[in-house]
């Protein structure tokens, strides 16, 4: 009898335990569990580790993997943001969801060498309603020297002439060698011999298909006994940068779209350190000019950094030397002595207007235009075939072109990072 009771009691307890277990399981199904982050990567780079990475590529695919399948409706820009640190700007991203993963891809090339913050918001939920609960923030830095976003072309000359952003690769390189650059982190630089060296990039007229424009580069020039054409796209029919003989200044004419079917350079933007502006005897359009009597000490046999900027909204063109603004001109002030406006006041952006065979749409490093053009062929200073023409003699590195007007803060940060 006692034995029978034990079996009956055990059976009852066993049934109760089974009911209890079943009941608990049903409760778990009805109550969503918390959503947790399992992994966060940019390619093979871990963004979820103890140390923030500093080598994230400029065009990353960031993948966030969670403990449960993600509700597509919550994986939106309202809950997921990517912010650039140096100017606190939100980077636009595309967001896609597949099962337990969310892929976040910037719609623009990120600034290089810059810190970014990714936020996965508390509003992200799983398909069964489980919430992330608390926002997750992760910091990372992109690879390389600091350079703002918006680059359309970048040649680092680290052993070749390839464009690291797009397809503007050097097609022909004549008498070019690659040597150590200004510091170890800068890798190599292109060396030009001052007589025959040139690098040519086809299809470069598209680099001027823009309203706003910035050119940035590093150079170290040697005395060649004359002025030097460092960079040129169809000369003044596109743009060119020229060092004066004696290293006492430089200039950069750029072809502008006047908005009425015509174009022109608006005169050369030239800097010689005389400090003259519209307020002290200089041209009425010059609003800033930094006085500097020691330009040869800066430009000869030393690395220097040049940035040219055109801002179509303000109609101001500027040049920077070693991170500092040295000259600025405002095309809104272009008018004659009688107060009549010059066509420069109508500028809407840049415009390539080269015409073959005089000039070709090819960017030349080391000369004013590519070898195929006939412009100035018979001029001893302007014909490529003349060894004593204004060929560039020295080193060139980190040439960057942007279809945006960089700010003074961005230029200073870039210089400080690269110097």
Where among 120, 141, 162 does a domain terminate?
141
What is the C-alpha to C-alpha distance for residues 396 and 178, in angstroms, rounded to an integer? 10
Q: Are 252 and 121 within one domain?
A: no
Q: Which is more confidently placed, 109 or 320?
A: 320
Rounded to an integer, the average pLDDT of 167-195 is: 97
For residue 26, pLDDT over 60 is answered with no
| pLDDT at residue number 31 | 52
For residue 179, pLDDT over 90 is answered with yes
Q: Which is more confidently placed, 258 or 20?
A: 258
Q: What is the pTM of this model?
A: 0.86
Q: What is the pLDDT of residues 310-369, one digit of tens each?
A: 999 999 999 999 999 999 999 999 999 999 999 999 999 999 999 999 999 999 999 999
299 three-class SS: helix
For residue 248, pLDDT over 80 is answered with yes
Where among 92, 119, 141 does a domain terminate?
141
With respect to residue 31, please indicate whether it lies within any of the assigned structural domains: no
With respect to residue 359, please indicate whether it lies within any of the assigned structural domains: yes
- Judged by average pLDDT, the poorest of 12-16, 39-43, 82-86, 127-131 is 12-16
Selection from 274, 314, 269 nearest residue 293 by Cα = 274
Q: Are 413 and 389 within one domain?
A: yes
User: Which residue range is the domain that position 103 belongs to?
Assistant: 37-141
| pLDDT at residue number 32 | 64
Rounded to an integer, the average pLDDT of 146-173 is: 95
For residue 277, pLDDT over 70 is answered with yes
Percentage of residues in the chain with pLDDT exceeding 70? 92
What is the C-alpha to C-alpha distance for residues 357 and 414, in angstroms, rounded to an integer? 38
For residue 3, pLDDT over 60 is answered with no
CATH number for the domain including 101?
Answer: 2.60.40.1220
For residue 18, pLDDT over 50 is answered with no
| pLDDT at residue number 267 | 87
CATH number for the domain including 241?
Answer: 2.60.120.200
Q: Which is more confidently placed, 105 or 9?
A: 105
Q: How far, CA to CA in Å, does 153 sit from each of 150, 214, 230, 413?
A: 9, 11, 17, 19
Q: 3-state SS of 142-168? A: ECCCCECCCEEEEECCCCCCCECCCCC
Q: Are 161 and 265 within one domain?
A: yes
Percentage of residues in the chain with pLDDT exceeding 90? 90
411 three-class SS: helix
What is the C-alpha to C-alpha distance for residues 116 and 128, in angstroms, rounded to an integer? 32
Where among 88, 120, 141 does a domain terminate?
141
Q: What is the pLDDT of residues 195-234, one digit of tens each?
A: 999 999 999 999 999 999 999 999 999 999 999 999 999 9
Q: Are 134 and 166 within one domain?
A: no
Q: Are 156 and 114 within one domain?
A: no
Selection from 273, 233, 227 nearest residue 253 by Cα = 233
Query: Two tokens at 217?
Result: 């580069």
173 three-class SS: strand
What is the C-alpha to C-alpha distance for residues 222 and 200, in angstroms, rounded to an integer? 21
Query: Two tokens at 227?
Result: 């002025």
What is the C-alpha to C-alpha distance for residues 389 and 323, in angstroms, rounded to an integer? 30
Q: Are 259 and 137 within one domain?
A: no
Q: Are 341 and 245 within one domain?
A: yes
With respect to residue 345, please indicate whether it lies within any of the assigned structural domains: yes
If phi over 0 gives left and psi between -120 and 50 gives alpha, with beta otherwise, what is residue 235? left
Selection from 87, 62, 58 nearest residue 75 by Cα = 62
With respect to residue 280, please indicate whether it lies within any of the assigned structural domains: yes
With respect to residue 156, please indicate whether it lies within any of the assigned structural domains: yes
φ, ψ at 25 (rounded to 5°): -65, -40
Per-residue exposure over 199-225, b if at least 16 CB sit within 10 Å of its own CB, e if not:
bbbbebbebbebbbbbbbbbbbbeebe
Count structural domains, the chain. Answer: 2
Sign of the CA dihedral running 83, 86, 87, 88: positive
Q: What is the pLDDT of residues 397-412, one digit of tens each?
A: 999 999 999 999 999 9
- Burial of residue 377 (CB within 10 Å: 0-12, 13-18, 19+) is middle
Mean pLDDT, all residues of the chain: 92
Selection from 28, 119, 124 nearest residue 68 by Cα = 124
């Amino acid at each position: 009898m006692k034995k029978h009771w034990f079996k009956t009691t055990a059976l009852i307890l066993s049934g109760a335990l089974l009911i209890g277990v079943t009941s608990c399981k049903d409760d778990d199904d009805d109550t969503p569990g918390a959503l947790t982050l399992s992994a966060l990567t940019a390619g093979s780079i871990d963004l979820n580790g103890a140390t923030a990475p500093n080598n994230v590529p400029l065009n990353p695919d960031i993948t966030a993997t969670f403990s449960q399948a993600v509700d597509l409706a919550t994986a939106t820009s309202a809950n997921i943001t990517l912010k650039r640190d140096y100017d606190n700007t939100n980077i636009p991203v595309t967001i896609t969801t597949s099962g337990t993963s969310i892929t976040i891809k910037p719609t623009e090339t990120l600034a290089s060498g810059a810190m970014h913050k990714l936020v996965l918001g508390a509003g992200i939920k799983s398909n069964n309603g489980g919430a992330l609960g608390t926002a997750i923030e992760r910091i990372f830095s992109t690879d390389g020297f600091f350079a703002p976003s918006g680059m359309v072309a970048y040649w680092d000359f680290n052993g070749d002439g390839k464009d690291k952003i797009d397809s503007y690769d050097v097609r022909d390189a004549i008498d070019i060698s690659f040597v150590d650059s200004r510091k170890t982190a800068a890798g190599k630089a292109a060396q030009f011999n001052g007589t025959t060296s040139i690098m040519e990039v086809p299809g470069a007229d598209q680099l001027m298909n823009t309203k706003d424009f910035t050119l940035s580069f590093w150079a170290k020039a040697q005395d060649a006994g004359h002025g030097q054409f460092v960079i040129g796209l169809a000369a003044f029919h596109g743009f060119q940068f020229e060092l004066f003989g004696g290293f006492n200044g430089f200039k950069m004419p750029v072809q502008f779209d006047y908005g009425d079917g015509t174009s022109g350079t608006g005169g050369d933007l030239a800097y010689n350190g005389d400090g003259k502006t519209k307020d002290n005897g200089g041209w009425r359009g010059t609003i800033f000019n930094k006085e500097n009597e020691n330009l040869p000490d800066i430009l000869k046999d030393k690395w220097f950094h040049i940035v040219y900027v055109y801002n179509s909204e303000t109609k101001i063109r500027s040049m920077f030397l070693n991170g500092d603004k040295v000259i600025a001109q405002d095309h809104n002030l272009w008018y004659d002595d009688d107060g009549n406006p010059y066509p420069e006041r109508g500028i809407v952006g840049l415009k390539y207007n080269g015409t073959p065979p005089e000039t070709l749409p090819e960017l030349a490093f080391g000369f004013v235009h590519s070898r195929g053009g006939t412009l100035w062929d018979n001029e001893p200073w302007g014909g490529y075939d003349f060894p004593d023409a204004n060929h560039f003699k020295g080193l060139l590195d980190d040439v960057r072109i942007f279809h945006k007007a960089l700010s003074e803060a961005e230029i200073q940060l870039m210089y400080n990072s690269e110097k």
